Structure 1
Amino acid sequence: MRGLLSGSALAAVFLVAGCGQPSGQGGNATAPSAQTPDQAGWTKDTTAQLRDAIGKRAMHGLDQMPFAVSGTDDAALTQTALSYAGALAHGATDPKKLYDVYTVPRPEPDLRRGLADALRAGKVGDWLNSLAPQDANYKKLGQAYLALRKKPAAPTPAISDAGESIKPGASDPRLPVIARELVVLDYLDQAAATGDRYTPTMVAAVKRMQADYGMEPDGVIGADALGILNMSDVDRARSIAVNMERLRWLERTPPATRIDVNLAAARLSYWRDGKLVNSRKVVVGEPDKETPQLGSPIFRLVANPTWTVPRSVQQKEIAGKGAGYLKANNMSWKDGWIVQASGPKNSLGLVKFDMQNDHAIYLHDTPAKPLFGLVQRQRSHGCVRVDDALGFAEMLATDEGVLDQWHQARATGKETFVKLPRQIPVRMLYQTVLFDDAGEPIVRNDPYGWDDRVGSALGFKAGKALRVKTDEADVGP
């Protein structure tokens, strides 16, 4: 199983259709420090250290951004040093300006004080090097980026699109590379990626991929299908640089016990006391109803939840269906709202993981189990559906010492709340580069098309945005 990156951007009113309510999005400010770098002053040696560090910025995927020193006086050097330090310490871009909602905690180091201390010690280079993430995954991304940047800049695709389309049953020398890409995208098992013949197993994988991207699922590998499978070295380098930037947005020491949800891969990772103890599939918001990048804790488990249908779903998808539909789905009108009663047909399933945020986003169970068998699981109205949610609830209840209370709540058959003794932080992240079993970075697809805005802000030319095309399968959140 491929692991998530473990080292792991206009503030505006936002509404997750069918799952959230509008809310203002604020920002965080860092208190200014009384320390000033100018008190220490720049020397020939520390200036050389600054120039050397900036000259090596490609190891951070920042070589498309200008950080050249604009002058030789102390003020100009300080301004450049603080700008580059900020890029390393918390990102060269502001996710709150790049995305409608971004509330994942970010680093807030006192860079002016840090620079002042580094100038006094004559260790500006060491200080700058310490600001970026120090984990092995970040360093591997840097190495992969450097390797790709050394190759010719021509955006040559890995798989030639010259020649005829590949039809089922045909043999073609391009098929081994195509099979490898299908494995990377999770459409094909590694064991089936053999030979140069277009087998029925590969045909089925290609059909699933074509359906996910809004193509005719005919199994014929033509220019459109190759457009999904093909990624040039330029595209790969851009994706890696974007994901390094996303890692710089994150706290260097995240909570040891937490839940990370990768929206791009639609997978959940549960960390307990610093160790990854569980990973499972999730269903997240479909394109145009994207699950936002939130930092928000789970504070209680809800057994046998009811569901108050949001106005957007009520007006767009239930209005006009009549009393028969409501009765069949255990729904009824209460105080001007449609409420779905507890039970196996409830759109929240049998457990809800209640979270504290202004967008009504939460984790929950679902009766729509087949969605977990899909490769592209961006299918919800914005909330996060958890595979085997009852099993996950048992795990959390056990770890938090409330298993008896949870069992009692389940047994009531009614909506019952079990407060956790301590909140569990949840981070909704978006990472399009994962690591394979050998620890090597692999570039995945960008289902929301969110890489473009980060890449452009980092100075890269626009890449190919192949967004997943899905329609929600049910009215659930």
Structure 2
Amino acid sequence: MNRRELTLGAALSAFAGSAVAQTAPAQSAVAAPQSQYQAALTSQLARMPAAVQPDLRAFYELNGWRPVWNTARLRTLNQAAGRAERHGLSSNDYFDFVGLAADPDTADMRTTAAALAYARVLAEGAVRPETVEELWEMEKNRVDLPVGLNDALVQNKIVEWFEGLAPTDIGYNNLSAGYVRYRRIIAQGGWPRFTARAGTIEPGSSDNRIPAIIARLVAEGDLSAAEGQRLTAQGLVYGPELQTAVRGFQARHGLGADGRIGASTQSSLGASADDRARQIALNLERRRWLKRELNPERIEVNTAAAIMVYWKDGRPVHSNRVVVGSPANETPSLEKPFASVVANPPWYVPAGIARREILPRGPAYLASQNMYISNGTVIQRAGPTAALGYVKFELRDSYAIFLHDTPSKAAFNLSMRQRSHGCVRVQNAVEFARILLTPDPTLLAQFDDAQASRETKRIQTGREITVRLLYWTAFVDGQGRVAFREDVYRRDRRLAEALGIAVDLPAVVADGRTDANDVGP
């Protein structure tokens, strides 16, 4: 991404000195009569791209078809554009003041177009999410930008308005600060390139890549500068202190934190500072797509990290590991209302899974799995070995995607937990169901009674709980560090291509074997 400094200088003087730029403050459509500039501005509007004409027309109608940009406003606009980097953006992609000054007769219209384009990226993102994900169904952020820009000009709050368009929640702000930090790391030279090799760097062994590992850990803050100097002086031995730092690196990247530098850890060490900064920028873009007002009680699943967080009263109060869709059966990005808890649910097997993975095994397999066929549908009875376990969390209109328990507990101990058919398997699911039902003792008692009797029972929660299935490959962890996950669904790559960002992310290295008998959703 281009990071040239945006300077005004003579360009601003030339632009502000033109007849178009020397204007009065913005006025409302009621107060402002048709001006002598209308013919020129409407002619310019007709030559603008069709996609931006409605917003430009709405804005200039609010201003009585008067030009609006003078020297003072341009300076504050430049200040707003100068903050683009903290959002993972380049101000030069939107504002070219030198080019505007070269043609002052059209500068006002083109400056407004640039301002609205930048505002839309901050408010809604640069890319339509449906174009880079196969199924994306979440509530988008929507802002009336012409009215907002007009009000900002009237109130002389241009910088504040632009900064308020991007998300202001702690997750976005912390990730934004992380992006600025990684840009600073890049400006300081980044970190040495790490070359992956076959085999594992075992604790206590020697390896000529140890200095590069130390430099990397110092750059990202897993080691202090003083610790890095001391360990570097100790030579090429992979000693206990460095092992502790590597375990922190592994945890931050969602890897098995065993201190052994195997294929998956080497793959993550191979990422450059530029690639990680760009990965953060991609995740800032994803966050800008989403509406800003959130249900204070909600369940959020990060499918890239395979982690679920339950929010109550606007605070995270509970988290679980989850198993989500495999790369061949991605869990989509959805936002749906939570509907009910089903104790001891049977599983109505989707036709595709039945056809590919169950029916070919014959009647004996169905009997061994407590399955039967009814009206052409394969059904698994509830029970201790049922694929849905002891509880199912139903969502409304969710394309048969839901959260549920599972008898296949071993997968929760894996680092790469993308291995279901698309649904979300929840660790300690019965405990989590009890947490959700605790506010109403009657509902909780119904659930506990059903669990004791092994009766299938649907229990309505009686309140609105939003479930959000998200894809964050970069986020800030509880220690304030930027955590990364590999792009298991390749959505980072598709988004980077749409944004024109060159990125080379580490390859995904799976751990553990897939259970051939695990056919759950």
TM bracket, shorter-chain basis = 0.7 to 0.9
Query: How far 1:358 sits from its partner (Å)?
Result: 4.2
Corresponding residue for 2:156? 122
Instruction: Report Cα offsets for 1:206-236 as digits up to 9, x if no partner.
Output: 9xx9xxx9xxxxx8857x8633332211011
Listed as ranges, the matches of 1:57-456 within 5 Å are: 57-63=84-90, 66-69=93-96, 71=100, 72-152=106-186, 158=192, 160-161=194-195, 168=202, 170-172=205-207, 174-175=209-210, 196-197=237-238, 221=262, 226-401=266-441, 402-456=443-497
Matched residue SS, 2:322: strand
Corresponding residue for 1:36? 59
In structure 2, the gaps of 5 or more residues are 1-53, 101-105, 218-230, 255-259
Measured at CA, do residues 414 and 89 of structure 1 come closer, stay the same or move farther in structure 2, by a change above 3 Å? same
Corresponding residue for 2:519? 475
Matched residue SS, 1:62: coil
Query: How far 1:390 sits from its partner (Å)?
Result: 0.4
Matches of 1:38 and 1:89 in 2, distance apart?
Answer: 22
Matches of 1:123 and 1:141 in 2, distance apart?
Answer: 25
Query: How far 1:158 sits from its partner (Å)?
Result: 4.1
Alignment length (residue pairs) = 425
Matches of 1:387 and 1:179 in 2, distance apart?
Answer: 35
TM-score between both structures, scaled by the size of structure 1? 0.79
Corresponding letter in the other structure for 2:409: K
Measured at CA, do residues 440 and 462 of structure 1 come closer, stay the same or move farther in structure 2, by a change above 3 Å? closer
Measured at CA, do residues 42 and 33 of structure 1 come closer, stay the same or move farther in structure 2, by a change above 3 Å? closer
Corresponding letter in the other structure for 1:146: V
Which has the larger Rg?
2
Query: How far 1:294 sits from its partner (Å)?
Result: 0.3
Contact 1:37 1:119 in 2 (8 A): no
Range with bigger deviation, 363-372 or 133-142? 133-142
Corresponding letter in the other structure for 1:149: R
Matches of 2:341 and 2:196 in 1, distance apart?
Answer: 55
Corresponding letter in the other structure for 1:286: S
Instruction: Report Cα offsets for 1:434-459 as digits up to 9, x if no partner.
Output: 32443122333222222112223333
Query: How far 1:162 sits from its partner (Å)?
Result: 8.8
Matches of 1:180 and 1:297 in 2, distance apart?
Answer: 46
Corresponding residue for 2:78? 51
Matches of 2:91 and 2:317 in 1, distance apart?
Answer: 38
Matched residue SS, 2:336: strand
Matches of 1:273 and 1:35 in 2, distance apart?
Answer: 39
Corresponding letter in the other structure for 1:461: A
Contact 2:323 2:424 in 1 (8 A): yes
Matches of 2:196 and 2:507 in 1, distance apart?
Answer: 21
Contact 2:307 2:320 in 1 (8 A): yes
Matches of 1:180 and 1:348 in 2, distance apart?
Answer: 46
Measured at CA, do residues 375 and 116 of structure 1 come closer, stay the same or move farther in structure 2, by a change above 3 Å? same
Query: How far 1:161 sits from its partner (Å)?
Result: 2.5
Range with bigger deviation, 53-62 or 465-474? 465-474
Corresponding residue for 2:46? none
Instruction: Report Cα offsets for 1:210-264 as digits up to 9, x if no partner.
Output: xxx9xxxxx8857x86333322110111011111112212222211000000101
Matches of 1:83 and 1:475 in 2, distance apart?
Answer: 47
Contact 2:337 2:396 in 1 (8 A): yes
Answer 1 or 2: higher relative contact order, Cα 8 Å, separation at least 6.
1
Instruction: Report Cα offsets for 1:314-358 as digits up to 9, x if no partner.
Output: 111112212111111100010011100011111000100000124
Contact 2:69 2:108 in 1 (8 A): no
Instruction: Report Cα offsets for 1:134-173 as digits up to 9, x if no partner.
Output: 2344333333323333455799664533999665452236
Corresponding letter in the other structure for 1:250: L
CA RMSD of aligned residues (A): 3.5
Measured at CA, do residues 292 and 472 of structure 1 come closer, stay the same or move farther in structure 2, by a change above 3 Å? farther
Corresponding residue for 1:28? none
Corresponding residue for 2:227? none
Contact 2:175 2:284 in 1 (8 A): yes
Corresponding letter in the other structure for 1:59: R
Percent identity over the alignment? Answer: 37
Range with bigger deviation, 135-144 or 464-473? 464-473
TM-score between both structures, scaled by the size of structure 2? 0.73
Measured at CA, do residues 226 and 148 of structure 1 come closer, stay the same or move farther in structure 2, by a change above 3 Å? same
Corresponding letter in the other structure for 1:414: E
Measured at CA, do residues 468 and 293 of structure 1 come closer, stay the same or move farther in structure 2, by a change above 3 Å? farther
Contact 1:452 1:465 in 2 (8 A): no
In structure 1, the gaps of 5 or more residues are 1-30, 183-193, 214-218
Query: How far 1:368 sits from its partner (Å)?
Result: 0.2
Matches of 1:282 and 1:317 in 2, distance apart?
Answer: 23
Query: How far 1:400 sits from its partner (Å)?
Result: 4.6
Matches of 1:426 and 1:220 in 2, distance apart?
Answer: 36
Matched residue SS, 1:447: coil
Range with bigger deviation, 287-296 or 95-104? 95-104
Contact 1:409 1:416 in 2 (8 A): yes
Contact 1:37 1:113 in 2 (8 A): no
Contact 1:167 1:198 in 2 (8 A): no
Matches of 1:273 and 1:137 in 2, distance apart?
Answer: 16
